[in-house]
Chains A and B, each alone.
Chain A
């Protein structure tokens, strides 16, 4: 149980394009979803937290107009990287949680984004 599906797993696109990444909880309702960014051989950095039907809460230093997050239902959140540039290339990982902070977050397999 507690499966999170993230799609696509790999994206290569030209600079200036926008890229949408989907995160779905397949067998549970995710009251809260999270988006993380991971640079090579580094840890995960929280980008934003979203609750279903509410605006996302962004961490300091994360541009909300660059990284658009939509959490339209209890099983789906999307991250759109707008007008992507090479410095946006990274590994993006979503997670989903049902309930409060004492419940674990369940992670997707990540999306490798490469901007040429």
Chain B
């Protein structure tokens, strides 16, 4: 089975500051990892994904994430926060082999607040 832990249900940063949203995973086989963003009353939009190619993954809107197997982490970063980045962010995992559910296992989410 796989699981995802997102440290910090709420993260507040100033506009222009570095954004760091933490995600740690647990899986018995190599994982596929995803970051999604959700705006109020909307579905999820894919930011980026890791599927066993380059460990540093660049996504949309200036976000990137680095897969670190030794730390079982996939933290999301953005060098300079913008007001429009305020949203809920979800880290998700699925397994790249074996049985188990085909769907995504999500973390509890991190609410990103941008201070003007």
Known interface pairs A46-B103, A49-B103; A104-B43 also in contact (CB < 8 Å): no
- Cβ of B55 under 8 Å from chain A: no
CA A39 to CA B95, docked complex, whole Å: 25
Inter-chain contact A104/B102, CB cutoff 8 Å: no
- Cβ of A109 under 8 Å from chain B: yes
Inter-chain contact A59/B101, CB cutoff 8 Å: yes
- A to B contact number (C-beta, < 8 Å): 65
Inter-chain contact B105/A46, CB cutoff 8 Å: yes
Q: Give the size of the chain A interface in residues (CB under 8 angstroms).
A: 25
Which residue of A is nearest B52, CB measured?
A102
Taking CB atoms, residues of chain B closer than 8 Å to A95 are 43-44, 104
Inter-chain contact A32/B41, CB cutoff 8 Å: no
Inter-chain contact A44/B90, CB cutoff 8 Å: yes
A84-116 interface with B by 8 A CB criterion: 93, 95, 101-102, 104-110, 112
Listed by A's residue number, 20 A-B pairs whose Cβ atoms lie within 8 Å are: A4-B43, A34-B102, A34-B103, A34-B104, A43-B106, A45-B106, A46-B101, A46-B105, A59-B103, A101-B94, A102-B32, A102-B49, A102-B51, A104-B49, A105-B46, A107-B44, A107-B45, A108-B43, A110-B41, A110-B43
List chain A positions with a Cβ less than 8 A from chain B.
4, 6, 32, 34, 36, 42-46, 49, 57, 59, 93, 95, 101-102, 104-110, 112
List chain B positions with a Cβ less than 8 A from chain A.
32, 34, 36, 41-46, 49, 51-52, 90, 94-96, 101-109
Known contacts A42-B108, A57-B102, A105-B103; 17 additional CB pairs below 8 A are: A34-B104, A36-B103, A42-B109, A43-B107, A44-B106, A45-B106, A46-B101, A95-B104, A101-B32, A101-B95, A102-B32, A102-B96, A105-B46, A107-B44, A109-B43, A110-B42, A112-B41
